């Protein structure tokens, strides 16, 4: 066994082997995989191993398609069979919402060159004569859908990696992982030790136990999961072609051909957790006793759809464990604060995603950043706030609604409330409908009746009108928006300015009371973040960024060593904030403070420490609404006092609380981008109009990468689109993000955010389009159908910024 390696992968399931394979593909041959038992010993060996390309997240869909196309290549490359059957998959829609989901997927598939398209019921019946298509509204066909052989695939990855120099040791459990003073790791097994730069935890069912060896706690929880295989079915035996698989997700089961019978699996309502306290170390190629009663309801749905299921006997039942994260997406990425430790755990559709996950993991390790924005897979989306109770509640919700549609704007209730701020109860009494942001409850809109919940769908929902009223109130008078969910940091010390200048791309404000906007640049030169930095004192700065990205951004901040005597402190819990905006915001706030808020005393983009209603706050004259306004940041203890004063004084002026959904609409009216939508490491500064904030006359984090991409022509450009009103009114739907954009039927871009602009009376979308010129006509695929739209030259709200500066 080697004693040194560039990376040591722990776990020889499909994921560990894929990571090993992709590391070698990117040129790292000095890599080792350690497996405690045989390869495939965890969830891998008993999987149904269906493969699908469909996913509600566009990048995940692209990576699933990559995975599906990889298996045949892998067979050719290694000579190891992967048991690939690709008879296609039929996706059935029984509801209008499912139809919208599938049509949107088909439009995305067209944009990205993936095969997923509509077929008629007659065509579907010809492909699968055993299916009863009653009640089906539309059918999509994915010709590459099917299934693989779990052990064949795992061994093919392993063989491919070995052929490029990797070492694999079976029956070699890792018992200790210990970080050394120089940041490297020593991985200990009964067969010896290996020193390495990277430890990769791909221990599947034992992800928690392996993480614990390094002092890490991961929000993971295993469950049981069952499928069964029927005896031979005569109609299938008589066929010379394999049947496509059936994705009847409204029926909450999956179904495909296995041998000469059918395989049916289900995510039942009456689900069962397993090994909550920890996965037993002596568990390997084991299964649980059958419990088909639990999945009876789902099986009845399957029988209704494919009557032969009910007529055939049961040949084999598999009841095995799988391990989940709170949102059923993989927890992957290098651990912020623990150099050289990479996690890749909690994978549910391992066979649909193994290639994509392996590729992203290897790029992250070897090249410092994956080529796609994979924030929905990044473990940094959770932190210690994701407690065990929360994880369990969310996993139950994910499991029991595995095939439910994830609607745009949907907020699931499970495990909440988890983190609340002092005014939570008050907001609730005001009718706030909350969303989850980095574990915090955050008001999205205010309903007339407290206790109201969102309805969900791809069309305009119950919040659409009330959000419009909030927007109009703010634009006509003023609104009070809780912005406590923004991430806040303080940087203090003699070298604070120098350090911030070394991190961020823009010049830091040179005088006290000034603020600047600045991008943070990623390893590939894209936008890793956007921040507002305010100089509070000669040696003190307040930095405001995206709340959901706080842990993600930690990775960047820690790349630039803090000078001695300078501190960088996360203040998100200790501070709360409000944005008071609108034409009467000055009048409202002036009633609460002696500090003059007139423009000559308090111009745009300036800040002051002021006292408002007896509360000390940092006031910044900025507003994401694009209107006249101030951000007020105070101590969390003072949030209630400040809110009370703002509401009371606001009421006299006809102003009141405004939620996050209204803020989304208001910022789109102004054309402002937002992190994770318009700003992501996938987009280059000049594509999003932030190049003017990259100061190439100084050094900053990843400056060379920024210089390199800035030298290249834009691939596409961020634009604001106005959707044809009649068409959106007919569909009763606005763009929400993710919709493809076509020009004369050819894919030219995609939407990143969309909303109705209530104060301008326009349905709007921000998105990326190739070679876009103002006035160009394009089609935006709202609900998967073309809706005419025009590229706007300027934002429809206050293009000259007069309101901001008034």
Ligand X SMILES: Cc1cc2nc3c(=O)[nH]c(=O)nc-3n(C[C@H](O)[C@H](O)[C@H](O)COP(=O)(O)OP(=O)(O)OC[C@H]3O[C@@H](n4cnc5c(N)ncnc54)[C@H](O)[C@@H]3O)c2cc1C
Binding site for ligand X (CB under 6 A): 10-16, 34-37, 41-44, 46-50, 173-174, 202-206, 210, 225, 227, 318, 320-322, 347-352
459: CB partners within 8 A, 6+ apart:
100, 731, 732, 733, 783
Q: Which is nearer to ligand X, 271 or 613 (CB)?
A: 271
Could you give the dihedral angle defined by the CA atoms of residues 606, 611, 615 and 621, in that order, rounded to the nearest 10 degrees?
-20
49: CB partners within 8 A, 6+ apart:
147, 148, 149, 150, 153, 351
Q: Which is nearer to ligand X, 10 or 109 (CB)?
A: 10
CB of 158 to ligand X, least distance (A): 11
CB of 417 to ligand X, least distance (A): 31
Burial class of residue 86, CB neighbours in 10 A (0-12, 13-18, 19+):
buried
Q: Which is nearer to ligand X, 11 or 657 (CB)?
A: 11
Burial class of residue 53, CB neighbours in 10 A (0-12, 13-18, 19+):
buried
Burial class of residue 695, CB neighbours in 10 A (0-12, 13-18, 19+):
middle
How far apart are alpha carbons 328 and 267 in whole angstroms? 13
Q: Please state the separation of Cα 445 from the chain's center in Å.
A: 22
How far apart are alpha carbons 394 and 327 in whole angstroms? 7
Q: Which structure tokens are listed for 486?
A: 């923004």
Q: Which is nearer to ligand X, 9 or 719 (CB)?
A: 9
The DSSP symbol for 713 reads P
Rg (CA), the chain: 27
Q: Which is nearer to ligand X, 246 or 575 (CB)?
A: 246
Q: Which is nearer to ligand X, 75 or 530 (CB)?
A: 75
CB of 348 to ligand X, least distance (A): 6
Q: Which is nearer to ligand X, 225 or 667 (CB)?
A: 225
Q: How far apart are the first and last CA of the chain?
A: 71
Task: Answer yes or no: are the C-beta atoms of 540 and 490 closer than 8 Å.
Answer: yes
CB of 272 to ligand X, least distance (A): 12
CB of 26 to ligand X, least distance (A): 19
CB of 300 to ligand X, least distance (A): 20
CB of 147 to ligand X, least distance (A): 7
Task: Answer yes or no: are the C-beta atoms of 267 and 225 closer than 8 Å.
Answer: yes
CB of 190 to ligand X, least distance (A): 10
CB of 66 to ligand X, least distance (A): 14
| Beta pairing class for 117-119 and 192-201 | unpaired
Burial class of residue 410, CB neighbours in 10 A (0-12, 13-18, 19+):
middle
Q: Which is nearer to ligand X, 329 or 484 (CB)?
A: 329
Task: Answer yes or no: are the C-beta atoms of 548 and 381 closer than 8 Å.
Answer: yes
Q: Which is nearer to ligand X, 204 or 435 (CB)?
A: 204
CB of 204 to ligand X, least distance (A): 2
Q: Please state the separation of Cα 149 from the chain's center in Å.
A: 29
Q: Which is nearer to ligand X, 349 or 795 (CB)?
A: 349
How far apart are alpha carbons 223 and 273 in whole angstroms? 4
CB of 229 to ligand X, least distance (A): 12
- Picking from 788, 806, 790, the residue whose alpha carbon sits closest to that of residue 798 is 806
Q: Which is nearer to ligand X, 199 or 405 (CB)?
A: 199
Task: Answer yes or no: are the C-beta atoms of 218 and 208 closer than 8 Å.
Answer: yes
Burial class of residue 798, CB neighbours in 10 A (0-12, 13-18, 19+):
buried
CB of 173 to ligand X, least distance (A): 4
Task: Answer yes or no: are the C-beta atoms of 181 and 16 closer than 8 Å.
Answer: no
Q: Which is nearer to ligand X, 32 or 48 (CB)?
A: 48
């Amino acid at each position: 066994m080697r004693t040194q390696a560039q990376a040591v992968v722990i776990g020889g399931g499909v994921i560990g082997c894929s990571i090993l394979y992709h590391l070698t593909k990117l040129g790292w041959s000095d890599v080792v995989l350690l497996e405690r038992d045989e390869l495939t010993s965890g969830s891998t060996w008993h999987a149904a191993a269906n493969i699908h390309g469909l996913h509600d997240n566009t990048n995940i869909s692209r990576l699933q398609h990559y995975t599906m196309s990889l298996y045949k290549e892998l067979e050719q490359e290694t000579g190891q069979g992967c048991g690939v059957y690709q008879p296609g998959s039929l996706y059935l829609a029984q509801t209008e919402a499912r139809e919208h989901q599938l049509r949107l997927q088909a439009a995305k598939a067209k944009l990205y060159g993936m095969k997923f398209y509509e077929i008629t019921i007659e065509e579907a019946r010809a492909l699968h004569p055993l299916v009863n298509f009653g009640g089906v509204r539309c059918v999509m066909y994915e010709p590459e859908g099917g299934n693989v052989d779990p052990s064949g695939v795992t061994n093919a990855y392993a063989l491919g990696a070995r052929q490029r120099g990797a070492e694999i040791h079976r029956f070699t459990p890792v018992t200790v992982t210990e970080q050394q003073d120089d940041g490297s790791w020593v991985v200990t097994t009964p067969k010896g030790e290996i020193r390495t730069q990277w430890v990769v935890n791909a221990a599947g069912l034992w992800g928690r136990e392996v993480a614990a060896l390094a002092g890490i706690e991961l929000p993971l929880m295993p469950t049981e999961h069952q499928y069964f295989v029927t005896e031979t079915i005569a109609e299938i035996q008589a066929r010379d072609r394999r049947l496509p698989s059936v994705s009847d997700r409204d029926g909450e089961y999956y179904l495909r051909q296995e041998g000469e019978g059918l395989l049916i699996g289900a995510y039942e309502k009456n689900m069962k957790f397993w090994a909550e306290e920890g996965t037993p170390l002596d568990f390997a190629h084991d299964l649980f006793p059958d419990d088909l009663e639990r999945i009876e309801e789902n099986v009845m749905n399957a029988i209704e759809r494919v009557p032969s299921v009910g007529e055939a006997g049961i040949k084999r039942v598999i009841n095995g464990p799988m391990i989940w994260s709170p949102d059923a997406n993989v927890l992957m990425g290098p651990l912020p604060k623990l150099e050289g430790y990479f996690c890749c755990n909690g994978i549910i559709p391992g066979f649909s995603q193994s290639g994509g996950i392996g590729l992203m993991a290897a790029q992250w390790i070897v090249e410092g950043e994956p080529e796609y924005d994979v924030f929905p897979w990044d473990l940094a989306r959770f932190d210690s706030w994701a407690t065990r109770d929360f994880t369990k509640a969310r996993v139950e919700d994910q499991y029991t609604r595995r095939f439910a549609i994830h609607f745009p704007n949907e907020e699931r209730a499970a495990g909440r409330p988890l983190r609340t701020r002092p005014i939570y109860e008050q907001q609730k009494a005001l009718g706030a409908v909350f969303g989850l942001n980095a574990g915090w409850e955050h008001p999205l809109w205010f309903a007339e009746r407290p206790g109201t919940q969102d309805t969900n769908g791809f069309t305009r929902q119950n919040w659409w009108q009330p959000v419009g009223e909030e927007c109009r109130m703010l634009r006509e008078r003023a609104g009070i928006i809780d912005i406590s969910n923004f991430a806040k940091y303080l940087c203090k010390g003699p070298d604070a300015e120098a350090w911030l200048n070394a991190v961020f791309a823009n010049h830091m404000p040179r005088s006290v009371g000034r603020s600047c906007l600045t991008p943070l640049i990623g390893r590939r030169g894209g936008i890793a973040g956007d921040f507002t930095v305010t100089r509070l004192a000669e040696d003190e700065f307040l930095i405001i960024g995206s709340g959901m990205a706080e842990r993600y951004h930690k990775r960047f901040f820690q790349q630039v060593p803090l000078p001695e005597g300078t501190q960088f402190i996360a203040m998100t819990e200790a501070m709360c904030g409000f944005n008071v905006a609108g034409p009467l915001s000055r009048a409202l706030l002036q009633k609460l403070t002696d500090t003059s808020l007139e423009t000559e005393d308090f111009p745009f983009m300036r800040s002051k420490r002021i006292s408002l209603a007896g509360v000390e706050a940092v006031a910044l004259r900025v507003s994401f609404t694009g209107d006249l306004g101030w951000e007020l940041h105070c101590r969390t203890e003072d949030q209630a006092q400040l809110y009370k004063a703002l509401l009371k004084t606001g009421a006299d002026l006809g102003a009141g609380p405004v939620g996050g959904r209204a803020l989304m609409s208001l910022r789109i009216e102004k054309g402002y981008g937002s992190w994770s939508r318009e700003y992501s490491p996938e987009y280059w500064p000049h594509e999003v109009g932030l190049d003017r904030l990259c100061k190439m006359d100084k050094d900053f984090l990843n400056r060379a990468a920024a210089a390199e991409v800035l030298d290249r022509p834009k691939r596409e450009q961020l634009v604001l689109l106005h959707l044809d009103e009649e068409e959106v009114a007919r569909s009763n739907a606005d763009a929400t993000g993710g919709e493809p954009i076509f020009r004369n039927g050819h894919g030219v871009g995609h939407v990143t955010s969309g909303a109705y602009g209530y104060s301008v009376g326009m349905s709007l979308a921000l998105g990326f389009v190739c070679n876009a010129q103002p006035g160009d006509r394009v089609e935006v695929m709202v609900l998967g159908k073309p809706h005419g739209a025009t590229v706007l030259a300027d934002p429809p709200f206050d293009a000259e910024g007069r309101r901001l500066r008034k």
